[in-house]
Amino acid sequence: MTSAGAGRSAPGILYISYDGMLEPLGQSQVVAYLEKLAPGRRIHLISFEKDADWADVAARAAIRHRLDRAGIYWHPKRYHKSPSAPATAYDIAVGSAQAIRLIRQHKLGIIHARSYVAAAMALAAKRLTSAAFLFDMRGFWADERVDGGLWPRGRLYRTAKSLEHRFLLAADHVVTLTHASAKEIGGFDYLAGRVPPITVIPTCADLDLFSLQPPPPPSQPFTLGYVGSVGTWYLLDEMLRCFALLRRRDPQARLLVVNRSEQDMIRQRCAAFGILDAVELTAAEHGDMPRQIGRMYAAMALIKPAYSKIASAPTKLAEYLGCGVPCLGNSGVGDMAEVLEGRQVGVSVNGFTDAELAEAMDRLLDLARNPATRDRCREVALDLFSLERGVEAYARIYASLSGAEA
Protein backbone atom coordinates (compact mmCIF):
# COMPACT_ATOMS: atom_id res chain seq x y z
CA MET A 1 0.00 0.00 0.00
CA THR A 2 1.12 3.55 -0.62
CA SER A 3 1.98 5.54 2.47
CA ALA A 4 -0.43 8.00 4.04
CA GLY A 5 1.84 10.79 2.91
CA ALA A 6 1.62 9.93 -0.79
CA GLY A 7 0.02 12.41 -3.11
CA ARG A 8 0.14 15.33 -0.73
CA SER A 9 -0.12 17.78 -3.62
CA ALA A 10 -3.84 16.88 -3.76
CA PRO A 11 -6.14 17.00 -0.74
CA GLY A 12 -6.97 13.65 0.73
CA ILE A 13 -10.48 12.29 0.38
CA LEU A 14 -12.67 10.66 3.00
CA TYR A 15 -15.38 8.50 1.40
CA ILE A 16 -18.25 7.48 3.70
CA SER A 17 -20.68 4.72 2.75
CA TYR A 18 -23.40 3.27 4.96
CA ASP A 19 -23.43 0.27 2.60
CA GLY A 20 -20.83 -2.38 3.30
CA MET A 21 -17.93 -3.16 1.02
CA LEU A 22 -18.61 -6.86 1.56
CA GLU A 23 -21.97 -6.43 -0.18
CA PRO A 24 -22.30 -6.64 -3.99
CA LEU A 25 -23.61 -3.06 -4.09
CA GLY A 26 -20.57 -1.75 -2.23
CA GLN A 27 -18.20 -3.59 -4.52
CA SER A 28 -19.86 -2.51 -7.78
CA GLN A 29 -20.86 1.05 -6.85
CA VAL A 30 -18.09 2.10 -4.44
CA VAL A 31 -14.97 -0.05 -4.70
CA ALA A 32 -15.04 -0.22 -8.50
CA TYR A 33 -15.02 3.59 -8.69
CA LEU A 34 -12.48 4.17 -5.94
CA GLU A 35 -9.99 1.72 -7.44
CA LYS A 36 -9.87 3.90 -10.54
CA LEU A 37 -9.86 7.17 -8.61
CA ALA A 38 -7.13 6.11 -6.15
CA PRO A 39 -3.96 6.65 -8.26
CA GLY A 40 -2.43 9.96 -7.20
CA ARG A 41 -4.98 10.46 -4.44
CA ARG A 42 -5.06 9.64 -0.73
CA ILE A 43 -8.40 7.97 -0.13
CA HIS A 44 -9.75 6.81 3.22
CA LEU A 45 -12.97 4.78 3.22
CA ILE A 46 -15.44 4.35 6.09
CA SER A 47 -18.08 1.66 5.56
CA PHE A 48 -20.59 -0.13 7.76
CA GLU A 49 -20.44 -3.91 7.50
CA LYS A 50 -23.24 -6.28 8.44
CA ASP A 51 -22.42 -9.06 10.89
CA ALA A 52 -23.26 -11.89 8.48
CA ASP A 53 -20.94 -10.43 5.83
CA TRP A 54 -18.16 -9.75 8.34
CA ALA A 55 -18.30 -13.36 9.52
CA ASP A 56 -17.08 -14.51 6.09
CA VAL A 57 -13.37 -14.35 6.81
CA ALA A 58 -12.31 -15.23 3.27
CA ALA A 59 -14.50 -12.52 1.72
CA ARG A 60 -13.25 -10.01 4.27
CA ALA A 61 -9.63 -10.84 3.46
CA ALA A 62 -10.33 -10.60 -0.28
CA ILE A 63 -11.86 -7.11 -0.11
CA ARG A 64 -9.12 -5.97 2.27
CA HIS A 65 -6.51 -7.16 -0.21
CA ARG A 66 -8.34 -5.48 -3.08
CA LEU A 67 -8.46 -2.14 -1.27
CA ASP A 68 -4.86 -2.43 -0.05
CA ARG A 69 -3.70 -3.12 -3.58
CA ALA A 70 -5.45 0.05 -4.76
CA GLY A 71 -3.84 2.09 -1.96
CA ILE A 72 -7.18 2.77 -0.26
CA TYR A 73 -7.26 2.97 3.54
CA TRP A 74 -10.32 1.06 4.75
CA HIS A 75 -11.93 1.76 8.12
CA PRO A 76 -14.82 -0.73 8.45
CA LYS A 77 -17.37 -0.18 11.20
CA ARG A 78 -20.11 -2.47 12.44
CA TYR A 79 -23.61 -1.86 11.07
CA HIS A 80 -26.41 -1.83 13.68
CA LYS A 81 -29.93 -2.67 12.53
CA SER A 82 -32.31 -2.59 15.48
CA PRO A 83 -34.06 -0.88 17.00
CA SER A 84 -33.98 0.98 13.72
CA ALA A 85 -33.85 4.68 14.58
CA PRO A 86 -31.62 4.39 17.70
CA ALA A 87 -29.31 1.95 15.88
CA THR A 88 -28.87 4.33 12.95
CA ALA A 89 -28.35 7.27 15.32
CA TYR A 90 -25.63 5.30 17.09
CA ASP A 91 -23.93 4.47 13.78
CA ILE A 92 -24.07 8.14 12.78
CA ALA A 93 -22.39 9.13 16.04
CA VAL A 94 -19.66 6.51 15.61
CA GLY A 95 -19.12 7.42 11.97
CA SER A 96 -19.02 11.15 12.67
CA ALA A 97 -16.39 10.72 15.37
CA GLN A 98 -14.30 8.49 13.10
CA ALA A 99 -14.62 10.97 10.23
CA ILE A 100 -13.47 13.90 12.33
CA ARG A 101 -10.46 11.94 13.62
CA LEU A 102 -9.41 10.86 10.13
CA ILE A 103 -9.80 14.33 8.61
CA ARG A 104 -7.69 15.92 11.34
CA GLN A 105 -5.08 13.16 11.51
CA HIS A 106 -4.52 12.84 7.75
CA LYS A 107 -5.42 16.41 6.72
CA LEU A 108 -8.16 15.24 4.36
CA GLY A 109 -9.74 18.03 2.35
CA ILE A 110 -12.86 16.43 0.84
CA ILE A 111 -15.67 14.39 2.41
CA HIS A 112 -17.53 12.29 -0.16
CA ALA A 113 -20.78 11.05 1.41
CA ARG A 114 -22.80 8.39 -0.39
CA SER A 115 -26.51 8.91 0.35
CA TYR A 116 -28.27 10.34 3.38
CA VAL A 117 -27.01 8.47 6.45
CA ALA A 118 -23.42 9.01 5.32
CA ALA A 119 -24.28 12.66 4.68
CA ALA A 120 -25.37 13.06 8.32
CA MET A 121 -21.88 11.95 9.36
CA ALA A 122 -20.28 14.24 6.78
CA LEU A 123 -22.30 17.23 7.92
CA ALA A 124 -21.09 16.82 11.48
CA ALA A 125 -17.50 16.49 10.28
CA LYS A 126 -17.77 19.51 7.97
CA ARG A 127 -18.88 21.71 10.85
CA LEU A 128 -15.79 20.82 12.87
CA THR A 129 -13.21 20.78 10.08
CA SER A 130 -12.45 22.75 6.95
CA ALA A 131 -13.18 19.84 4.58
CA ALA A 132 -15.40 20.36 1.53
CA PHE A 133 -18.63 18.32 1.46
CA LEU A 134 -19.66 16.32 -1.62
CA PHE A 135 -23.26 15.12 -1.15
CA ASP A 136 -23.64 12.10 -3.45
CA MET A 137 -27.36 11.86 -2.78
CA ARG A 138 -28.16 9.01 -5.22
CA GLY A 139 -31.90 9.71 -5.07
CA PHE A 140 -34.71 11.18 -3.00
CA TRP A 141 -34.27 8.66 -0.20
CA ALA A 142 -36.97 9.88 2.19
CA ASP A 143 -39.52 10.07 -0.60
CA GLU A 144 -38.57 6.58 -1.74
CA ARG A 145 -39.29 5.24 1.75
CA VAL A 146 -42.78 6.76 1.66
CA ASP A 147 -43.54 5.94 -1.98
CA GLY A 148 -42.44 2.36 -1.39
CA GLY A 149 -44.76 1.97 1.60
CA LEU A 150 -41.88 1.55 4.07
CA TRP A 151 -42.61 4.76 6.01
CA PRO A 152 -45.78 6.72 6.74
CA ARG A 153 -45.70 10.37 5.74
CA GLY A 154 -45.18 11.32 9.39
CA ARG A 155 -42.50 12.46 11.81
CA LEU A 156 -39.72 10.23 10.48
CA TYR A 157 -40.32 11.43 6.93
CA ARG A 158 -40.39 15.07 7.99
CA THR A 159 -37.14 14.60 9.92
CA ALA A 160 -35.44 13.02 6.91
CA LYS A 161 -36.64 15.81 4.61
CA SER A 162 -35.38 18.39 7.09
CA LEU A 163 -31.98 16.68 6.99
CA GLU A 164 -32.07 16.66 3.19
CA HIS A 165 -32.70 20.41 3.35
CA ARG A 166 -29.63 20.86 5.57
CA PHE A 167 -27.43 18.59 3.42
CA LEU A 168 -28.24 20.51 0.25
CA LEU A 169 -27.65 23.87 1.90
CA ALA A 170 -24.31 22.73 3.33
CA ALA A 171 -23.05 20.84 0.27
CA ASP A 172 -20.18 22.25 -1.73
CA HIS A 173 -21.19 19.96 -4.61
CA VAL A 174 -24.11 17.57 -5.23
CA VAL A 175 -24.21 14.42 -7.33
CA THR A 176 -27.55 13.01 -8.42
CA LEU A 177 -28.45 10.17 -10.77
CA THR A 178 -30.72 11.91 -13.28
CA HIS A 179 -31.21 15.19 -15.10
CA ALA A 180 -34.86 15.11 -14.00
CA SER A 181 -33.85 15.16 -10.33
CA ALA A 182 -31.20 17.84 -10.91
CA LYS A 183 -33.92 20.06 -12.39
CA GLU A 184 -36.18 19.32 -9.41
CA ILE A 185 -33.45 20.21 -6.89
CA GLY A 186 -32.72 23.43 -8.75
CA GLY A 187 -36.34 24.44 -8.18
CA PHE A 188 -36.43 23.91 -4.41
CA ASP A 189 -37.59 27.18 -2.81
CA TYR A 190 -35.06 27.09 0.02
CA LEU A 191 -32.20 26.88 -2.49
CA ALA A 192 -33.25 30.00 -4.38
CA GLY A 193 -30.10 31.92 -5.16
CA ARG A 194 -27.86 29.32 -3.48
CA VAL A 195 -28.15 26.12 -5.52
CA PRO A 196 -24.86 24.22 -5.16
CA PRO A 197 -23.07 22.91 -8.26
CA ILE A 198 -24.87 19.74 -9.39
CA THR A 199 -23.39 16.93 -11.49
CA VAL A 200 -25.49 14.12 -12.95
CA ILE A 201 -23.74 10.74 -12.76
CA PRO A 202 -26.14 7.87 -13.51
CA THR A 203 -25.66 4.42 -12.04
CA CYS A 204 -22.90 3.02 -14.21
CA ALA A 205 -22.06 -0.55 -15.15
CA ASP A 206 -18.84 -2.42 -15.77
CA LEU A 207 -19.07 -2.46 -19.54
CA ASP A 208 -15.97 -4.63 -19.80
CA LEU A 209 -18.09 -7.34 -18.17
CA PHE A 210 -21.44 -6.34 -19.67
CA SER A 211 -20.04 -6.36 -23.18
CA LEU A 212 -21.73 -6.67 -26.56
CA GLN A 213 -22.96 -10.23 -26.84
CA PRO A 214 -23.40 -12.30 -30.02
CA PRO A 215 -27.01 -12.07 -31.23
CA PRO A 216 -29.27 -15.03 -30.50
CA PRO A 217 -29.21 -17.62 -33.28
CA PRO A 218 -31.92 -17.23 -35.97
CA SER A 219 -33.38 -20.58 -34.94
CA GLN A 220 -34.13 -19.34 -31.41
CA PRO A 221 -37.68 -18.10 -30.72
CA PHE A 222 -38.02 -14.42 -29.89
CA THR A 223 -36.97 -14.20 -26.23
CA LEU A 224 -38.06 -11.36 -23.99
CA GLY A 225 -36.18 -11.07 -20.70
CA TYR A 226 -35.97 -9.66 -17.21
CA VAL A 227 -32.94 -9.73 -14.90
CA GLY A 228 -32.81 -9.14 -11.16
CA SER A 229 -35.09 -8.99 -8.16
CA VAL A 230 -38.62 -7.62 -8.32
CA GLY A 231 -38.70 -6.10 -4.85
CA THR A 232 -40.77 -3.02 -4.05
CA TRP A 233 -40.55 -1.13 -7.30
CA TYR A 234 -40.58 -3.39 -10.36
CA LEU A 235 -44.00 -4.00 -11.91
CA LEU A 236 -43.99 -7.77 -12.34
CA ASP A 237 -47.65 -8.17 -13.34
CA GLU A 238 -47.38 -5.45 -15.98
CA MET A 239 -44.26 -7.11 -17.43
CA LEU A 240 -46.01 -10.49 -17.52
CA ARG A 241 -48.96 -8.83 -19.28
CA CYS A 242 -46.51 -7.50 -21.86
CA PHE A 243 -45.29 -11.00 -22.56
CA ALA A 244 -48.84 -12.35 -22.77
CA LEU A 245 -49.62 -9.65 -25.33
CA LEU A 246 -46.42 -10.45 -27.23
CA ARG A 247 -47.49 -14.08 -27.54
CA ARG A 248 -50.64 -12.99 -29.39
CA ARG A 249 -48.37 -11.64 -32.14
CA ASP A 250 -45.70 -14.35 -31.86
CA PRO A 251 -47.04 -17.59 -30.30
CA GLN A 252 -43.50 -19.07 -30.23
CA ALA A 253 -42.09 -16.27 -28.08
CA ARG A 254 -40.34 -17.14 -24.81
CA LEU A 255 -39.81 -15.27 -21.54
CA LEU A 256 -36.48 -15.61 -19.72
CA VAL A 257 -36.41 -14.42 -16.09
CA VAL A 258 -33.07 -14.41 -14.26
CA ASN A 259 -33.86 -14.14 -10.56
CA ARG A 260 -32.40 -15.71 -7.46
CA SER A 261 -34.75 -15.41 -4.50
CA GLU A 262 -38.30 -14.83 -5.78
CA GLN A 263 -38.80 -17.70 -8.19
CA ASP A 264 -41.75 -19.30 -6.39
CA MET A 265 -43.68 -16.03 -6.40
CA ILE A 266 -42.80 -15.35 -10.04
CA ARG A 267 -43.85 -18.85 -11.04
CA GLN A 268 -47.21 -18.35 -9.34
CA ARG A 269 -47.80 -15.07 -11.16
CA CYS A 270 -46.83 -16.62 -14.50
CA ALA A 271 -49.35 -19.39 -13.90
CA ALA A 272 -52.02 -16.82 -13.11
CA PHE A 273 -51.40 -15.19 -16.50
CA GLY A 274 -51.43 -18.54 -18.30
CA ILE A 275 -47.89 -18.19 -19.62
CA LEU A 276 -45.92 -20.56 -17.39
CA ASP A 277 -45.36 -23.03 -20.26
CA ALA A 278 -43.39 -20.35 -22.13
CA VAL A 279 -41.29 -19.11 -19.21
CA GLU A 280 -37.75 -20.08 -18.24
CA LEU A 281 -36.79 -19.16 -14.68
CA THR A 282 -33.13 -19.38 -13.81
CA ALA A 283 -30.55 -18.04 -11.36
CA ALA A 284 -27.08 -16.83 -12.32
CA GLU A 285 -23.95 -15.49 -10.70
CA HIS A 286 -23.00 -11.89 -11.48
CA GLY A 287 -20.29 -12.98 -13.91
CA ASP A 288 -22.79 -15.03 -15.94
CA MET A 289 -25.35 -12.23 -16.28
CA PRO A 290 -24.00 -10.94 -19.63
CA ARG A 291 -24.40 -14.37 -21.21
CA GLN A 292 -27.97 -14.62 -19.92
CA ILE A 293 -28.81 -11.13 -21.20
CA GLY A 294 -27.25 -12.10 -24.53
CA ARG A 295 -29.91 -14.79 -24.92
CA MET A 296 -32.57 -12.05 -25.06
CA TYR A 297 -33.79 -10.15 -28.09
CA ALA A 298 -35.24 -7.48 -25.80
CA ALA A 299 -35.58 -6.90 -22.06
CA MET A 300 -37.88 -5.11 -19.61
CA ALA A 301 -37.57 -2.69 -16.69
CA LEU A 302 -41.04 -1.40 -15.83
CA ILE A 303 -40.99 0.51 -12.56
CA LYS A 304 -43.74 1.91 -10.35
CA PRO A 305 -43.94 5.60 -11.27
CA ALA A 306 -43.79 7.86 -8.22
CA TYR A 307 -42.33 11.23 -7.30
CA SER A 308 -39.15 9.70 -5.87
CA LYS A 309 -38.50 7.73 -9.06
CA ILE A 310 -37.58 10.86 -11.00
CA ALA A 311 -34.22 10.45 -9.24
CA SER A 312 -33.72 6.78 -10.17
CA ALA A 313 -31.33 5.32 -12.75
CA PRO A 314 -31.81 1.52 -12.86
CA THR A 315 -28.53 -0.38 -13.14
CA LYS A 316 -30.18 -3.06 -15.26
CA LEU A 317 -30.81 -0.50 -18.04
CA ALA A 318 -27.06 0.09 -18.36
CA GLU A 319 -26.42 -3.67 -18.30
CA TYR A 320 -29.03 -4.45 -20.96
CA LEU A 321 -27.76 -1.74 -23.30
CA GLY A 322 -24.13 -2.68 -22.67
CA CYS A 323 -24.91 -6.18 -23.93
CA GLY A 324 -26.67 -4.77 -27.00
CA VAL A 325 -30.24 -5.52 -25.87
CA PRO A 326 -33.03 -2.90 -26.26
CA CYS A 327 -35.32 -2.29 -23.31
CA LEU A 328 -38.96 -1.65 -22.51
CA GLY A 329 -39.30 1.02 -19.82
CA ASN A 330 -41.75 3.66 -18.70
CA SER A 331 -41.99 7.38 -18.21
CA GLY A 332 -41.80 8.94 -14.76
CA VAL A 333 -38.57 7.10 -13.95
CA GLY A 334 -35.53 9.36 -14.09
CA ASP A 335 -34.30 9.96 -17.63
CA MET A 336 -35.40 6.53 -18.88
CA ALA A 337 -37.97 7.72 -21.44
CA GLU A 338 -35.56 10.26 -22.91
CA VAL A 339 -32.78 7.67 -23.22
CA LEU A 340 -34.92 4.89 -24.69
CA GLU A 341 -36.93 6.94 -27.14
CA GLY A 342 -34.46 9.75 -27.80
CA ARG A 343 -31.57 7.41 -28.53
CA GLN A 344 -33.70 4.69 -30.23
CA VAL A 345 -32.56 1.93 -27.88
CA GLY A 346 -35.93 0.92 -26.54
CA VAL A 347 -39.56 1.80 -26.00
CA SER A 348 -41.12 3.82 -23.17
CA VAL A 349 -44.79 3.55 -22.17
CA ASN A 350 -46.79 6.31 -20.50
CA GLY A 351 -49.53 4.03 -19.18
CA PHE A 352 -50.32 0.38 -18.64
CA THR A 353 -53.56 -0.30 -20.47
CA ASP A 354 -53.63 -3.34 -22.75
CA ALA A 355 -53.74 -1.04 -25.78
CA GLU A 356 -50.67 0.91 -24.65
CA LEU A 357 -48.69 -2.21 -23.76
CA ALA A 358 -49.64 -3.99 -27.00
CA GLU A 359 -48.52 -1.01 -29.07
CA ALA A 360 -45.27 -0.87 -27.11
CA MET A 361 -44.60 -4.57 -27.65
CA ASP A 362 -45.16 -4.18 -31.41
CA ARG A 363 -42.60 -1.38 -31.49
CA LEU A 364 -40.14 -3.29 -29.30
CA LEU A 365 -40.41 -6.39 -31.48
CA ASP A 366 -39.64 -4.36 -34.61
CA LEU A 367 -36.75 -2.54 -32.91
CA ALA A 368 -35.19 -5.76 -31.62
CA ARG A 369 -35.30 -7.33 -35.07
CA ASN A 370 -33.45 -4.39 -36.64
CA PRO A 371 -29.78 -5.48 -37.08
CA ALA A 372 -28.54 -1.95 -36.29
CA THR A 373 -30.13 -1.86 -32.86
CA ARG A 374 -27.56 -3.95 -30.99
CA ASP A 375 -24.60 -1.75 -31.95
CA ARG A 376 -26.61 1.38 -31.17
CA CYS A 377 -27.47 0.05 -27.71
CA ARG A 378 -23.81 -0.59 -27.01
CA GLU A 379 -22.79 2.87 -28.20
CA VAL A 380 -25.38 4.53 -25.94
CA ALA A 381 -24.23 2.47 -22.97
CA LEU A 382 -20.64 3.56 -23.53
CA ASP A 383 -21.72 7.16 -23.94
CA LEU A 384 -23.95 7.37 -20.86
CA PHE A 385 -23.29 4.53 -18.45
CA SER A 386 -19.66 3.46 -18.56
CA LEU A 387 -17.71 3.24 -15.33
CA GLU A 388 -14.95 5.29 -16.97
CA ARG A 389 -17.35 8.17 -17.64
CA GLY A 390 -18.47 8.11 -14.02
CA VAL A 391 -14.88 8.07 -12.77
CA GLU A 392 -13.98 11.01 -15.01
CA ALA A 393 -16.92 12.99 -13.64
CA TYR A 394 -15.92 12.32 -10.02
CA ALA A 395 -12.33 13.27 -10.82
CA ARG A 396 -13.51 16.62 -12.16
CA ILE A 397 -15.56 17.21 -9.00
CA TYR A 398 -12.60 16.38 -6.75
CA ALA A 399 -10.45 18.77 -8.75
CA SER A 400 -13.01 21.56 -8.47
CA LEU A 401 -13.37 21.05 -4.71
CA SER A 402 -9.60 21.14 -4.25
CA GLY A 403 -9.18 24.23 -6.40
CA ALA A 404 -7.10 22.30 -8.92
CA GLU A 405 -7.67 22.07 -12.64
CA ALA A 406 -9.59 19.01 -13.82
- Is residue 115 within a helix (H) or strand (E), and if so which, with residue range? helix 115-128
Sheet architecture: strand order including 254-258: 279-282, 254-258, 223-227, 298-300, 327-330, 346-349
Least Cα distance to 240 among 252, 229, 255, 250 occurs for: 255
Q: Is the pLDDT of residue 382 over 90?
A: yes
Whether the model pTM is above 0.85: yes
Give yes or no for residue 5 having a pLDDT over 80.
Answer: no
Beta bridge partners of 44: 14, 73
Using the CB atoms, write b or e for 261-283: b if 16+ within 10 Å: ebeeebeebbeeeebeebbebee
What pLDDT does residue 28 have?
A: 87
- On the CB side of 189, how many CA atoms lie within 13 Å of its CA? 0
* 8 Å CB contact between 304 and 239: no
- Which DSSP string corresponds to 155-169? HHHHHHHHHHHHHHH
Share of the chain above pLDDT 70, in %: 97
Residues with Cβ < 8 Å from 268, sequence gap 6 or more?
none
The reply to whether domains 12-204+386-402 and 223-384 share a CATH topology is yes
pLDDT of residue 73: 98
Mean pLDDT to the nearest integer, 178-206:
95
Q: What is the pLDDT of residue 7?
A: 44
- Read off the pLDDT of residues 22-56 as tens digits, 9 standing for 90 and up: 998 899 899 999 999 999 999 999 999 999 999 99
* Weakest mean pLDDT among 7-21, 194-208, 284-298, 321-335: 7-21
How confident is the model over 63-91, as a mean pLDDT?
A: 95
Helix (H) or strand (E) holding 26: helix 24-26
Average of per-residue pLDDT values in the chain: 94
The model's confidence at residue 66, banded by pLDDT at 50, 70 and 90, is very high
Say yes or no to pLDDT of 4 above 90: no
3-state helix, strand and coil shares in percent for the chain, rounded to the nearest 5 = 50, 15, 35
- Evaluate whether 339 touches 313 at the Cβ level (below 8 Å): no
Helix locations, 212-326, DSSP H: 236-249, 263-272, 289-294, 315-322
Q: Could you read off the pLDDT of 352-364 as tens digits, one per residue? A: 999 999 999 999 9
Mean pLDDT of 334-342: 96
Under CATH, which number does the domain 223-384 receive?
3.40.50.2000
pLDDT tens for residues 105-135?
999 999 999 999 999 999 999 999 999 999 9
Q: Coil, strand, or helix at residue 100?
A: helix
CATH topology of domain 12-204+386-402: Rossmann fold (3.40.50)
Greatest alpha-carbon pair distance for the chain in Å reads 67
**pLDDT attached to residue 9:** 53
Residue 50: helix, strand or coil by DSSP?
coil
**One-letter amino acid for residue 224 of the chain:** L
How far, in Å, CA of 326 to CA of 181, rounded?
24
* Region 377-386 average pLDDT: 97
Tell the burial category of 75 from Cβ atoms under 10 Å away from its Cβ (0-12, 13-18, 19+). middle
Where do the domains of the chain lie? 12-204+386-402, 223-384
Alpha-carbon span 105 to 123, nearest angstrom: 18
The C-alpha angle 340, 344, 349, rounded to 5 degrees, equals 40
Q: How high is the pLDDT of residue 405? A: 47
Please report the pLDDT score of residue 233 as a whole number.
92
Report the pLDDT averaged over residues 371-399: 96
How does strand 327-330 pair with strand 346-349?
parallel
Question: What integer pLDDT is reported at residue 85 of this predicted model?
Answer: 86
